[in-house]
Structure 1
Amino acid sequence: MLGCASGHRFDVNRRGYVTLLPPRSRVVGDSAAMLDEREALLASGAYAPIRDALIAAVRPSRPRTVLDSGTGTGWYLHGLLDAISAASGQQARGLASDLSPAAVARAVRGRPDVDGLVADVHAPLPVRDAVADAVTVVFAPRNPAEFARVLRSGGVLAIVVPRADHLAELRAIGGMLDVPDGKAGSVEASLAEWFLPTAAQHVRYELPLNPERARQLQGMGPSAHHVVRSPESAAQLAASDLPASVTVSVDVLAFTRR
Structure 2
Amino acid sequence: MSLQTLSEWLRCPNCSLPLHPGGALVLKCDAGHSFDVNKRGFVSLAGQARRLIGDSIAMVDARDLFLGTGWYDPLRDRIADRVAAEHPGRLLDIGCGTGYYLRGILDRVPGIRVLGMDLSPSAVGRTVAGQSGVDGLVADVWSPLPVRDGAADVLLNVFAPRNPPEFHRILTDDGLLAVVVPQERHLRELRQAGLALDVPSNKVAHLVETLAPFFRLEAAEDLCSTLSLEPIQIAALIGMGPSAHHTDAGALTDQLSAVQTVTAAFHLLSFRRLAYPSR
1:42 corresponds to 2:58: no
CA distance in 1 between partners of 2:248 and 2:263 (Å): 24
Cα deviation digits, residues 145-178 of structure 1 (max 9, x gap): 1111100111110000001100111111112111
1:165 equivalent to 2:185? Answer yes
Measured in 2, the distance between the counterparts of 1:22 and 1:165 equals 37
SS class of match (1:180): coil
Superimposed CA distance per residue, residues 37-62 of structure 1 (whole angstroms, 9 cap, x where no aligned partner): 11011111110111111112221111
| 1:74-223 matched pairs, under 5 angstroms | 74-85=99-110, 91-223=111-243
- Alignment partner, residue 19 of structure 1: 44
CA distance in 2, matches of 1:167, 1:149: 34
What residue in structure 2 maps to residue 88 of structure 1? none
CA contact (8 A) 1:156 1:254 kept: yes
Q: How far, CA to CA, are the matches of 1:27 and 1:248 in structure 2?
A: 26
Match of 1:54 among 63, 71, 79: 79
Distance 2:27 2:235 in 1: 40
Output the CA distance in 1 between the equivalents of 2:83 and 2:46. Answer: 28
Choose the corresponding residue for 2:89, options 64, 77, 80: 64
Taking the aligned partners of 2:157 and 2:167, their CA distance within structure 1 comes to 10
Tell me the CA shift for residue 4 of structure 1: 2.9
The superposition leaves residues 24-79 of structure 1 with CA deviations (integer Å, 9 ceiling, x where unpaired) of 44631001111111101111111011111111222111111100000000110121
Q: 1:195 to 1:5 in 2, by over 3 A?
A: farther
Match of 1:235 in 2: 254
For 1:11 and 1:65, the matched residues in 2 are separated by: 24
The Cα offsets for residues 214-236 of structure 1, whole Å up to 9 and x where unpaired, read as 11111110110122344x44312
Counterparts of 2:210 and 2:50 in 1: how far apart (Å)? 26
Computed over aligned residues only, the root mean square deviation of the Cα atoms, in angstroms, reads: 1.5
TM (normalized to structure 2)? 0.85
Are the counterparts in 2 of residues 57 and 199 from structure 1 also a CA contact under 8 Å? no
AA of the residue aligned to 2:253: A
Aligned counterparts of 1:257 and 1:33: Cα–Cα separation in 2: 36
Distance of 1:25 and 1:41 partners within structure 2: 28
Q: TM-score, normalised by structure 1?
A: 0.92
Q: Which runs of 5+ in 2 are unaligned?
A: 1-25, 275-279
- Rounded to whole Å, the distance in 1 between the matches of 2:168 and 2:30 is 22
Q: Which has the higher helix share?
A: 1
Classify 1:213/1:229 alpha carbon distance in 2 versus 1 (closer, same or farther; 3 Å): closer
- Contact 2:226-2:263 within 8 A present in 1 as well: yes
SS in 2 for 1:27: coil
Q: 2:125 aligns to what SS in structure 1?
A: helix
Report how far residue 242 of structure 1 moved.
Answer: 5.8
* CA distance in 1: counterparts of 2:188 and 2:181, whole angstroms: 15
Taking structure 1 as reference, are residues 248 and 25 closer, same or farther at Cα in structure 2, changes over 3 Å only? closer
1:2-39: per-residue Cα shift (whole Å, max 9, x none)?
A: 22343211122210000001234463100111111110
Structure 1 runs of 4+ aligned residues shifted over 3 Å read 24-27
**Identity over aligned pairs, percent:** 47
